[in-house]
Amino acid sequence: MHKLLRQIVKTGMLRSRPCPRRDRARDIHTSPPSLAEELGRALAVRHVDTGSCNGCELEIQALGNAIYNLAAIGVRLVASPRHADILLVTGPVARAMAAPLRATYDAVPAPKRVVALGDCACGCGVYSPNYATVGKVDDVIPVDVAIPGCPPPPETIREAFATLICR
C-alpha cells in the first residue's frame, strides 16, 4: 500500500498532451481563397439525384472503395445538406425535383460549392428539355464545377474534388 502511495506521489498527475491543431489549409498547397482555407476541415458532400439513370450514382459509389478512396483526400458523403459544404448533383433536373433542389441548395450553409456530375447535369445529356425536365443543373442553381462524362469515371470525379479543394 505504502509502495503504491509513494509511486502515486512520485508520478504526480498525468495529462495527455493536447493534439497539435491540424490546419488543413496549410496541408494543402492552394492559392487563396480556397475552400479548404475557408472551412479549415474535411469537406462534406451532400449528393442529390435530380433525375439520373443511376449510372452516375454507381460511379459515386465506387469512390468509396479501397481503390479510389475519396475519404483519403478528406471528402465524405453526408446525409443532410445542413452538414454539407458541397452539393453534388446528378441527372437532368426533373420538373418535380427543381423545387427540392433549390431547397437543398438553400439548406447548405455558406461558403458552399455546387458540383454538376455527368453530361445530364452539365447539359441535359441524353435528355433534352421536355415536359418532364426543366433543364441542366445550372438552369436551377449556380454550378461551380462541371464534370462531364456519361458517366464520368471515378478517377475523373476524384480529380475534380481534389481540384475543388485547391481552388
Among 87, 91, 104, 134, binds ligand SF4 (CB under 6 A): 91
Nearer to ligand SF4, 35 or 92 (CB): 92
Separation of alpha carbons 152 and 156, rounded Å = 6
Q: Cα separations (Å) of 44 from 29, 39, 84, 109, 162?
A: 20, 10, 5, 11, 13
Q: Which residues within the stretch 114-153 sit at the binding site for ligand SF4 (CB under 6 A)? A: 118-120, 125-126, 150-151
Q: Report residue 49: phi and psi, to 5°.
A: -100, 115
Q: Residue 9 corresponds to which cell in the numbers above?
A: 506521489
Give the count of residues interacting with ligand SF4 (CB under 6 A).
13
The CB-of-21 to ligand SF4 minimum distance in angstroms stands at 40
Contact residues: ligand SF4, CB under 6 A: 52-53, 55-56, 90-91, 118-120, 125-126, 150-151
